[in-house]
Structure 1
């Protein structure tokens, strides 16, 4: 997923290359507690939701927890009555640490609410949840020196609202005002604003309140801004701090133990998603200076750390854990926990069809992991003995324009099929008769230079692979608003009760 840091001759300082992780980790919010960094990221319609990642050097990350199992249980979250929350689940979060407690704020477009989660143990929980009956867009938390708590939020006009001292509710009679009107105008004229300023991250450093946002001027690229003021509701002055040709932007800053500063931003990278980059931040006259000569270096010195983690964002799985899925997995929407199991058949994840669906997007219990670039390949083994007529099961490249290789059962006969939905509806491109109950499926992804193509294969003996169907031209669409996923699935079109056993998922 990332390019391996290259050690120097003295074997102490290392270099790294951007992007640090070539996989979908949008809207990062990063903090440091002691010598450990933690990061939260956008989850959308996937559950468990709001991943917490851990690092010691800002370069290597592993998923250590999720903030919630499910956010709500309405029709949108359960894919019921024709509703869904694709691209509308929980959005950009704000992760903070204050006096022994970790806080995460996040809003959901599908529920129209904002949530504050709190825990004393970010890696194990449990999390307490507090709900605000309003959606605050792209919010950022600040615990001020005087004990007051603020939340900066919104787009175009950046606003602040005060919370109670325990950050569990809006403070009655507290500060509530616009503090940076038309924040985009430090980057362009009003008539040239495309995407108004949003994605706020607030920090208080050396007596200044710094608010980082992004804007997207017309006929230009995403641009990183900063505004500063001596008072939370004072007069803010602003400037452009990064206008890289790649459009990499949106995020805050974080310091190291030895006093250096870095920023974690993300880059739109085609169908693989929005991928994180790290760049050094220096200071001139109290203003942060991003990158090198206003751009993001492809190769730079890494923050020094004597502890290392292996990247644990995408991972193979033999499904030998009988208790829980590995933290790299997320379900599409809320899982139906009555219809999947790791223990019914040890060594497999069994997924049972509990509802009727007309296509893949309507299916419950789609089990997913991120794909990654520049190239990756995933394969699954499945036992289809217990499929019923009308069932469809397999392995998908999952986004709005999805494709899959799988098995359809009709009139007691099973067919290997490749389906391409990039036209806006499912089209069966090729089918092959199948006379056995064990099958192996593989998808190769090519994200190099935004080629964004997926290739589909099957095997009946786990050794000889046969390409099937056509090439899926992948496309990052806002319908799902996330990068393509590896997806293991089964769904029923006629009657419920059939099931499929997945033996393993292996990624290269």
Structure 2
């Protein structure tokens, strides 16, 4: 009996090990701690595909792929550029921050994939089609007007519809190939006030429509935001598309809302939704669904669970974010899919071929601010924390040029090199107050410098710090911490950005040796 305590101890350790091992194999919410808002999702066989909103970025309307609903990778974009207009090109003083292409719809019908979106910037609705969602090519058609937050729907009788609008939801019929509005069709009101199930106290009207047909019934998902309440899932159902519709609250927990339904090959159901999460953006959650009396019932006792009966996440790298050494083998794409330009690029002013192993950003005009500069190359930040580093060769900056690493949003932060009067300085700029201010500058006596930005999104700290190094090992802080609020004018989580713009004369260029991202920081925020 003298060995009983030891045996009990070993048993406890074994049980704890089993629990820890089991937990390590379990997915956790949020399933993606990154800005992937307005998701639309389909399953084709045993493969899931998802689209999302990228607004002003180019290329746009990203397509992601997963085998387990948790681990996702970018496989392509529906378009390279949405349209050739000043606001999308960042020309003539115009931009499309907070606009561009919004919530998409994703469908698979008769061997064809459909990815659709709409843009306030152009006033149009866009339909992209392909037979190969992973490789393309995509065919594009567009037509007016811009049908707000629409859901594309192919009914069993072969007719095709868009449901769209906010509060008052409408139905319009399209042609059989979804290439435009069906001639002679008449739009009709589908639901007079889709917000009604959540109360009548105003707030955000029901929008973000996504329609599904399950066992012969129609189910329409929307988001609404009652005044004084939280973001709420509202579900309507009907036996006929034209109604009558009955509605109820589908979920009201932690503001997790907007999305729809997805089923697994083994017959389980989930709702894919997202949550506003401050500076990192709007992040996806999965919520278990059970069916009761012909209604989808979301959550566990009405709550969003912390864990899910799905495989654990393997991390967001390299599926959604990735390091890049800017070395390219023959046949490689010029830029991996993780990169998106801030607005449409000027393709004559960037290269990964002019200097082997480097990204070169040339200036072709003068600009007055970071947010109006063309050819800023961006990718997502990720939570709960992350860091981005680069090595900048500033040899060929002209007087007035500013190049470096930024965190892009309205209240942006920058660390980089400014060339002034024959000298170079490492500079930190903060727009934390809403307007850019040079916080600190340090003389630079060499042509190259290492730059780093660290983001802490834990517990909504939403704080960034900036550093520079002369050897890539000893990092020196510069400037001040940047608070990273999520602002509606940009309507997007903070993104890392490599930039170069001229304040006095065009023609200079900056060379970036690499960009490396990781999911840890060396200088934890104390705020």
Q: Same fold (TM over 0.5)?
A: yes
Counterparts of 1:288 and 1:294, CA distance in 2: 12
Where does residue 409 of structure 1 map in the other structure? 419
Q: CA deviation at 1:207?
A: 1.1
Contact persistence 2:28–2:312 (CA under 8 A): no
- Measured in 2, the distance between the counterparts of 1:311 and 1:459 equals 26
What pairs up with 1:271-350 in 2 under 5 angstroms? 271-302=279-310, 312-321=319-328, 323-350=333-360
Residue from 182, 192, 205 that aligns with 2:214: 205
Q: Provide the rounded CA distance (Å) in 2 between the counterparts of 1:77 and 1:9.
A: 49
Shift of 1:232: 0.9
2:195 match: secondary structure: helix
Q: Deviations over 1:109-153 (max 9, x none)?
A: 111110000000001111111111111000001111110011111
Call closer, same or farther: CA 1:297–1:11 in 2, change over 3 Å: closer
Q: What TM-score comes out, normalization by structure 1 length? A: 0.96
Deviation sequence 1:416-465 (CA, Å, 0-9, x none): 11101122221111101001111100011011111111000000111111
* 1:128 and 2:139 correspond: yes
2:361 is equivalent to residue 351 of structure 1? yes
1:108 aligns with 2:116: no
CA 1:11–1:421 in structure 2 vs 1: closer, same or farther (change >3 Å)? closer
- For 1:355 and 1:148, the matched residues in 2 are separated by 50
Once residues 25 and 8 of structure 1 are traced to their aligned partners in structure 2, the CA distance between those partners, rounded to angstroms, is 31
**Partner SS for 2:257:** coil
CA distance in 2, matches of 1:43, 1:53: 13
Where in structure 2 are the equivalents of 1:466-477 lying within 5 Å? 466-477=476-487
Per the TM alignment, residue 174 of structure 1 is displaced from its structure 2 partner at its CA by: 2.9
Structure 2 partner of 1:166: 177
- C-alpha distance in 2, partners of 1:466/1:10? 39
The aligned counterpart of 2:6 is none
The CA deviation at 1:318 is 0.5
Matched residue of 1:213: which SS? strand
Kept in 2, the 8 Å contact 1:335–1:365? The answer is: yes
Residue deviations 1:82-125 (CA, integer Å, cap 9, x gap)? 10001110000000000100001100111111000000000111
Contact 1:163 1:171 in 2 (8 A): yes
| Structure 1 unmatched runs, 5+ | 1-5
CA 1:308–1:504 in structure 2 vs 1: closer, same or farther (change >3 Å)?
closer
2:242 pairs with 212, 229, 233, which one? Answer: 233
In structure 1, the partner of 2:226 is 217
- How far apart are residue 503 of structure 1 and its match? 0.5
**CA shift at 1:9, angstroms?**
8.9
CA distance, structure 2, for counterparts of residue 283 and residue 248 of structure 1? 20
**Match of residue 178 from structure 1:** 189
Q: Could you say which residue in structure 1 is the equivalent of 2:374?
A: 364
Q: Select the residue among 101, 110, 129 that pairs with 1:99.
A: 110
Q: What CA distance in whole angstroms lies between the structure 1 residues aligned with 2:467 and 2:336?
A: 26
Q: Is the counterpart of residue 448 in structure 1 residue 462 in structure 2?
A: no
How far 1:470 moved relative to its partner? 0.7
Which residue of 2 is the match for residue 150 of structure 1?
Answer: 161
1:397 Cα deviation from its structure 2 partner: 1.1
Contact preservation (8 Å) 2:32, 2:316: no
Give the C-alpha shift of residue 309 in structure 1.
10
Matches within 5 A, 1:423-434: 423-434=433-444
Over aligned residue pairs, what C-alpha RMSD do you find?
1.9
Q: Which digits, 9 at most, give the CA deviation of each residue in 1:30-59, with x for residues without a partner?
A: 000000000000011001101100000100
**Does the 8 A contact of 1:357 with 1:492 survive in 2?**
yes
SS at 1:70 equivalent:
coil
User: What secondary structure sits across from 1:124 in the alignment?
Assistant: coil
Secondary structure of residue in 1 paired with 2:30: coil
Asked whether the equivalents of residues 33 and 382 of structure 2 are also in contact (C-alpha less than 8 Å), the reply is yes
Which secondary structure state, in structure 1, belongs to the residue aligned with residue 259 of structure 2?
coil
SS of residue in 2 equivalent to 1:252 = strand
* Residue of structure 1 equivalent to 2:13: none
Separation in 2, partners of 1:309, 1:479: 27
C-alpha distance in structure 2 between counterparts of 1:318 and 1:375, whole Å: 22
Contact 2:118 2:146 in 1 (8 A): yes
> Distance in 2 between the 1:304 and 1:454 partners?
28
* 8 Å CA contact retained: 2:27, 2:312: no
Q: Report the CA distance between 1:507 and its aligned residue.
A: 1.0
Note if 1:258 corresponds to 2:269: no
For the pair shown, the structure with the greater C-alpha radius of gyration is 2
CA distance in 1 between counterparts of 2:49 and 2:69 reads 9
